[in-house]
Amino acid sequence: MTTCAQAPAARDRPPGTLAFDGTSGWRAAGTAAQMRILTARSVKSLLLDRRLLLVGLIEPLLMLTAFGQVFSGIVHAPGFPAGVRYIDYLLPALFLMTSLQSGLQAGMGLVDDARAGMLARLRTMPVWPGSILVARSLAGLTRVVLRLVLLLTLAYCVFGYRPAGGLGGTLAAVALALVIGWSLGWVFIALACRVDNAETLHAVAGVVMFPLMFASSAFVPVDGLPSWLGRVASLNPITYGIDAARDLSLTGTAAMGALVAIPVALASAALTVPIAVKGLGRQG
Looking at the domain assignment, is residue 178 inside a domain? yes
Specify the higher pLDDT residue, 29 or 221: 221
Looking at the domain assignment, is residue 14 inside a domain? no
Looking at the domain assignment, is residue 2 inside a domain? no
Count of structural domains within the chain:
1
Q: Is residue 26 classed as helix, strand or coil in its secondary structure?
A: strand
Q: Which domain holds residue 274?
A: 31-282
Looking at the domain assignment, is residue 22 inside a domain? no
C-alpha span between 270 and 167 (Å, rounded): 31
User: Tell me: the pLDDT tens digits for 22-33?
Assistant: 444 445 567 788
Q: Work out the percent of the chain whose per-residue pLDDT is above 90.
A: 22
Q: How many CA atoms lie within 13 A of 58 on its CB side?
A: 6
Return the amino acid letter for 58. I
Tell me the range of 112-126, 197-211, 236-250 where mean pLDDT is highest: 236-250
Specify the higher pLDDT residue, 242 or 284: 242
User: Tell me: the pLDDT tens digits for 81-90?
Assistant: 888 889 999 9
Give 170's contacts (C-beta < 8 A, 6+ positions apart). Answer: 152, 163, 248, 249
Instruction: State which H helix or E strand residue 213 sits in.
Output: helix 198-214
Looking at the domain assignment, is residue 252 inside a domain? yes
DSSP, res 124: T
> Tell me, what's the pLDDT at 10?
45
Residue 179 has pLDDT above 90, yes or no: yes
